[in-house]
A and B are shown apart, each in its own frame.
Chain A
Amino acid sequence: MPEKVLMKGNEALAEAAIMAGCRHFFGYPITPQTEVAAHMAKRMPKIGGTYMQAESEVAAINMVLGASAAGVRAMTSSSSPGISLKSEGLSYLAGSDLPALIVNVQRAGPGLGGIQPSQADYLQATRAPGHGDFRMLVFAPSTVQEMVDLVADAFELGDRYRMPAMILSDGLLGQMMEPVVMDTNKKINTVEKPWAVTGHGDKRKHNIVNSLYIDPPNMEEVTRARYQRYKEIEEKEQRCEEYKTDDAEIVIVAYGASARISRSAVDLARKEGIKAGLIRPITLWPYPKKAILSRIRTAKAFLSVEMSMGQMVDDVRLVVNGAREVRFYGRTGGMIPTPAEVLNELKNIKGELK
């Protein structure tokens, strides 16, 4: 049994990527993802890997695209403003059916915003990471252990479905230390990549990695095929954790750092006789619709708790579709909600439910 150690979320994530077989990291400095890149800079040269500090986020994501096209597991990490710059590359990755891991250790925005933790990039991650018709896998860890465990999954699913995958973290999870077990014996599940540009070696027809489809019927066909894959993902890959939802009248929906706080709030509420529960989405795309749908029967209201002005709440509303009241509570700008604040919101809802 591997030893339990204290590690920062960012460092643990970086090491987990190495354990998942990633040997190519391209990035650009920004707070608060700092330790991901620093860890890679320290480790990669010792294991024959590449740590490359690019000239910009734009260059970094395109280097990731090149490495991914060449068939290796490649990644980049950044924080909110840097992710905006990666939009172009994300769209090209999706359009070229290339896997890649993108880590967003979120900070407050818009603009330069602030460097403290935030979840205000939810819509960017799940709706519009770049131009065009496409989707991206989005994973939301809520502990340092999950920062580790989800990395291998993100690489594997990205490879299997040939699409970019994002770990949507935040400054809190990135900067905090928690006990974590790094299982170095974990099997790496690799996927064959016959499409990669490795040099054809005079053995096959040349491979082309491309996102240009100048002929509209052809482009529509390719896009529809991609959306068939997305449909399969929505069927198979929804993930969430439920906490005390069986008899919950009020179901909080919260991910990442907000879910930790909401879980404490659920415990506080239960002590005061409020039947609260928590659904914690682990995948933000595909969104765990099934779990939320199944709670419409038992819950009287839903409460989305976020470190934003209300972004994921749109998804909760889309799923609940008017069948129940959906409320929102959030803090933003780098402020972190407290369990007491969430409890207060639960009390308000309880009062109105009569």
Chain B
Amino acid sequence: MNILLAGFGGQGILFTGKVAAYGGMLDGKEVSWLPSYGPEMRGGTANCSVCVSELPIGSPLVTAPDVLIAMNLPSLEKFEKTVVPGGIVMVDSSIVTEKVKRKDVKAIYLPATRLAEDSGLKGLANMVMAGRLFAETKFCSESALMDGVRKSVPARKQEMLDNNITAVKIGMKSGE
């Protein structure tokens, strides 16, 4: 499964990708994670390619995602057209009010930023999206995903671990 995550710098795009990659890896799959880098990172949009596969990964650059996670409007506008037919477009609808134009993809509108803030988890909309990504695709086992969160939160930010896991769980339940 090829995932493209995109949004503003500071929304935790790269971190979310890392959680997904770790989840896949801990489930015994081949994974890769590739960030955008350079000037486009300066205050603009950040994006990140994640591949989770049973087979060795060729290009880690995702140009035709199975899943697009768009956390701002420029990302939706730029990448919507690249999603494979039958793929998924997940939008943080607290931030992006536009609708997905494509009819051949599954559009998911999740008010991740509001859901996170309502639960006192400001800044963890990305983890809400990660939870929903898991619920929709089951790209790894639930325990691998949670371990992936544990591996990704750095030692110096361990106090944030529980909040991250709570946010993931909010995302997982959001589709029910």
Closest to A143 in B: B56
Task: Give chain B's interface residue range (CB within 8 Å of chain A).
Answer: 20 to 34
Q: Could you tell me if B38 and A32 are in contact, using CB atoms closer than 8 angstroms?
A: yes
Name the residue among A4, A6, A115, A179 with the largest chain B CB count within 10 angstroms.
A6
Contact of A176 among B25, B34, B38 (CB under 8 A): B34
Q: Could you tell me if B21 and A171 are in contact, using CB atoms closer than 8 angstroms?
A: no
Closest to B39 in A: A115
Q: Could you tell me if A338 and B37 are in contact, using CB atoms closer than 8 angstroms?
A: no
Shortest distance from the beta carbon of A133 to any chain B beta carbon, whole Å:
38
Name the residue among B38, B59, B61 with the largest chain A CB count within 10 angstroms.
B59
A116 to B37, CA, bound (A): 8
Cβ of A336 within 8 Å of any chain B Cβ, yes or no, is yes
A336-B59 contact in complex given A31-B38, A179-B31, C-beta closer than 8 Å: yes
Mask, B20-52, CB within 8 Å of A = 1, is 011001000011111101110000000000000
Cβ of A197 within 8 Å of any chain B Cβ, yes or no, is no
A334 to B32, CA, bound (A): 19
Q: Could you tell me if B18 and A6 are in contact, using CB atoms closer than 8 angstroms?
A: yes
Q: Could you tell me if B56 and A263 are in contact, using CB atoms closer than 8 angstroms?
A: yes
Contact of A339 among B30, B39, B59 (CB under 8 A): B59
A264-B58 contact in complex given A6-B21, A6-B25, A338-B63, C-beta closer than 8 Å: yes
15 contacts between A and B (CB under 8 A): A5-B151, A6-B22, A6-B25, A6-B33, A115-B37, A116-B38, A172-B34, A175-B34, A175-B37, A178-B31, A179-B25, A179-B30, A260-B57, A265-B58, A336-B59
Contact surface of A with B, Cβ cutoff 8 Å: 4-6, 31-32, 115-116, 171-172, 175-179, 257, 260-265, 267, 336, 338-339
Q: A178-B32, A338-B63 are in contact. List 7 more A-B contacts (CB 8 A).
A: A6-B151, A32-B38, A115-B38, A177-B32, A178-B57, A179-B30, A336-B59
